A and B are shown apart, each in its own frame.
Chain A
Amino acid sequence: MAQIFPPWWNKLPIVAAIAGCLVPTVATAGVWYYFSPWYTDVGYRPVQPVPYSHRLHVGELGLDCRYCHASVETSAVANVPPTQTCMNCHQIVKRDSEKLAPIRESAASGRPMRWIRVHKLPDYAYFPHNAHVAAGIGCVSCHGRIDEMETVTQMRPLSMGWCLECHRNPGPNRRPVSEVTNMKWTPPRDAGTLAAQLGRERPVNPPTECSGCHR
């Protein structure tokens, strides 16, 4: 009588054991990464109605962040500038640029620009820009090197775990308030001393509990 099971079936338990370990691990790891903000959000780079280049305006021309995002120090939101702010320069500079047509149209018609939001928090999370600027957290810490971006891209996951890393130990991310908008600021060699000094001068105790950000 012929054998019902061929000899390679003998390896089945080992294969099954290995697969039994690997498949869930891979699946878990896959979900862990591919469902996380590291995959879903980081690198998000929507096409904007006007290809505004931060590299040109900030990196090369040296505009300060606060020229456009004027309310970042006073308000929870660092507003996107009104069309008027663009036109301050562009009624003189590059008046006939094809790319700027939507801006001119908005200024003429009074219809607002519709930009695409890049950095988005869930609706139940409330992030105050003013408090973070006052604590000396640089723009770079959350938004990355905006001055090198042709198109604004999300560089950090903006996940709760990522927020909490800093909230638990804000020292390394703090800088003098005067340097907050400086894209090229690097911590001095004795970073620990600076952190300690800032902690003495302007102590912060960032909340690590739910009510700090969720309302």
Chain B
Amino acid sequence: MKESRRNFLKKSGCALGMGAIATQMNHLGLVNAFAQKSIDDGANPAGDAGYKALVLIYFSGGNDGNNMVIPNHSDATLSNYAAYSAARTTQGLAIPQASLLPISVPAMGGLSYGLHPSFGPIAGQPNNGIHELWGLGKLAVVSNVGTLVAPMTKTQYQQNLVQKPYQLFSHSDQVAQSQTSVANTQAFTGWGGRLSDKMTPLQPSAPNNPLVPMITSIAGAQLFTAGQSTLPMAINDSNTSLANVLNPSGFTNTGGTARKVSFDQLRTYDLNSNYIKAASDVTNLAIQANSALQVTQEVTVTFPNTSLGRQLKQVARLIKERTDLRVQRQVFYCQIGSFDTHTNQLASHTNLFTQFSQAVRAFYDEMGVQGVSESVTTFTMSDFGRTFNPAGSGATVGSDHAWGNHMFVLGGSVQGGNFYGMPTANGTPFPTLTIGAAGPDDTDSNSSARGRWIPTTSVEQYAATLAKWYGLPQDAPTLASVFPNIGNFNTNSSGLNFLI
């Protein structure tokens, strides 16, 4: 019988099957060809020499930072509470001044600002919340951060004199741009992933190599965590123990041993299909990490039993296990959702901010107990800010998609108790809360103006500051490979000074 077409297909498949895409399984940092210097070259934080972790808490949906950090003063030279109230009280979106948690801000001439009341102590909740950390100098605000290709004034925005981020105000695109840090074109890798690409080779090589990937997501697959050579570990929250989080069950009944052999063997076949290969790569990573996670590790502090509480509790367990996992640097991605508050914002914010404050404070306290406060920096990001002008009114009032937004950074290495960021038109990091033609930070001047602040600090500047603390080598090629547009920002391009 002549060779059938099917057989030919199989043969050619084998010939073709060397894997058309690059081998991404630079397993757990084993490849160390480019390691020229130790990860310890940079200054080590006190407490746990050699270990540093960045913990991103992503506010999914676009957080209204305008109601997170609010003027609490009556100074006429800067936007004050009255200016805030004038824009938001009528429709019912303003937070009453009396309920604000006051913070004194050196960068604003010592004026008082206020945090949303949910960041303080709440009856029935396990801790005092994060407002207390402001006074302790461990909580900072980075103001008016957003996606940018290059710095941009209102005139430049309106006359298209500087390239704008593509598809402003669209969720999916702004999420992508904040997670990739690249606002001028579609990117396939996140800045967390690229940071790990550069930092992973600086960790020790086999046999002392880390046993898990540098990046872990507790909230599923995220563009932020994707690098060119980094595959992230993604695990469930603390409802699943570390020992079970990547553990394939079974294999103990009749035929189990032989089943496991074949189960593992099958992942080495048919890799000529890129989809099959991608599925096998992910499973391989899981099975390898699983053997390192067969441990019992519990935290000391009480975490709230919320989604974010459970995520951060899982992060805390992993950090506690850091020595046995042989990790020196880790990036964690956590997420808290439902910030797309077109409606019902007041109730949603109270719920979400309480969840955030309680979970993050528990995590901060746990890091203290573990003796790694200075080694762990927690920071927030979001899709975008929201319109200063409310959407709707009354009980269901909300806000629409906007741009520049405020971020929290907290941890033992944070120079807290202050606002950071490149100056806005008023000379401070905090935008002028004026809508329309008279508002130097609003995108629009006409009747459709809603108070969408043009960011003054780019996501890249914010991220690069965090990456510098993390130990990213600061030579220009390395910096540009992680933050391709950083060169467009000429001042303090990788140092907004909110970290020691």
Q: Do A and B come from one complex?
A: no
User: Interface residues, chain A, CB within 8 Å of chain B?
Assistant: none
User: Interface residues, chain B, CB within 8 Å of chain A?
Assistant: none
